[in-house]
Amino acid sequence: MRRREFLGAAVAGAAAGQQKMKIFMHCDMDGSSGIFTREQAWYWENGAREQVGMEAREMFTADVNSASAAALKAGVTELIVCDTHHGGGNLIKEKLVQDRRITYLYRSVGMENGKRRWMPGLDETVDGLMLPGHHAKAMTPGAFLPHTWNHEWLDFTINGMSVGEIGIETCYAGHWNIPLIFVQGDVAACAEARQQFPGIATAAVKQGTTETCTGLPQEQAHAETAKGIREALERLRSGGMKPYKPALPMTITLRMRTMDAAAKAAQRPGILRLDDHTLEARVGRQADVVKWLLGTGLDMPPA
């Protein structure tokens, strides 16, 4: 069902409860409920305790289960759940809710139609994008683990607007006219999302400083997240959610932390080095928002 058909069905046939709704839930871990320390979120780093990492993965899995259940209860008929944290592999498969309406992607890059791509299944059949467990962009004051993709990236702009991973992923979805409808994370991440994409629903489940934070008990956080998901789907049904489609060709700039990182990236074709730390590129599709630099997007080469 295309989006205009979905919206028409939502208005004309809501009482019957028969309209289809397909949602892509792209799940990060830094903004997930119950994750309050760097050791929990980045459990693969040297010195991190194995037990701490396992407990964090269990909380992340419980958070995803709760969000998925809330989406299905609110009327989603098809749900794609993608584990994107550190490329994926964090969800505990045997503890995930099994439901025929849910498709799990355990890695953020996978195969589709015989080709590798980022976020397989994200296409014109999807009605809305949800970003639970997300974090604020690099250099954001009062944010828990703020960063944009990796620690070398200090500022990423699209046509002059500074964005983090929330904006990058929303731009990618915009290629298929898919709107961002929901973000869950800390207070700073939710504020960033609302400022850049007015009208979206958010669920702030924690707040803090760069490497530690405090937050709601997980059961209470699950209730807050479910409330935000219900609001998001109501707004989607109303027809008021618009995709983020920056004017093409997009001008993208990236300011790097070090000169060496900028020099290495500048060796890729089509990249202009503006100064010691800053790169610029012109991009012809929203789906190529990071492909110009990382090769990540559609039609990726074999691993």
d(CA 21, CA 150): 33
Side chain identity at 209, as an amino acid letter?
T
Q: Residue range 249-260: average pLDDT?
A: 98
d(CA 229, CA 275): 43
d(CA 285, CA 281): 12
Residue partners of 157: CB distance under 8 A and separation at least 6: 163, 252, 253, 254
The model's pLDDT over 46-103, given as tens digits with 9 standing for 90+, comes to 999 999 999 999 999 999 999 999 999 999 999 999 999 999 999 999 999 999 999 9
Give the 3-state secondary structure of residue 264: helix
% of the chain at pLDDT higher than 70? 94
pLDDT at 11: 41
Largest Cα–Cα separation, the chain: 60
Q: Model confidence at 160, in pLDDT bands (50, 70, 90)?
A: very high
d(CA 116, CA 105): 13
pLDDT at 1: 45
pLDDT at 184: 98
The answer to whether the beta carbons of residues 130 and 232 sit under 8 Å apart is yes
pLDDT at 101: 98
d(CA 52, CA 41): 9
Q: Residue range 262-276: average pLDDT?
A: 96
* Mean of all residue pLDDT scores within the chain: 94
The answer to whether the beta carbons of residues 233 and 21 sit under 8 Å apart is yes
Q: Model confidence at 16, in pLDDT bands (50, 70, 90)?
A: very low
pLDDT at 269: 93
Task: Give the pTM.
Answer: 0.94
Q: Residue range 14-43: average pLDDT?
A: 88
CATH 3.40.50.10780 fits 3-149+165-244, yes or no: yes
The model's pLDDT over 161-202, given as tens digits with 9 standing for 90+, comes to 999 999 999 999 999 999 999 999 999 999 999 999 999 999
Q: Residue range 21-28: average pLDDT?
A: 98
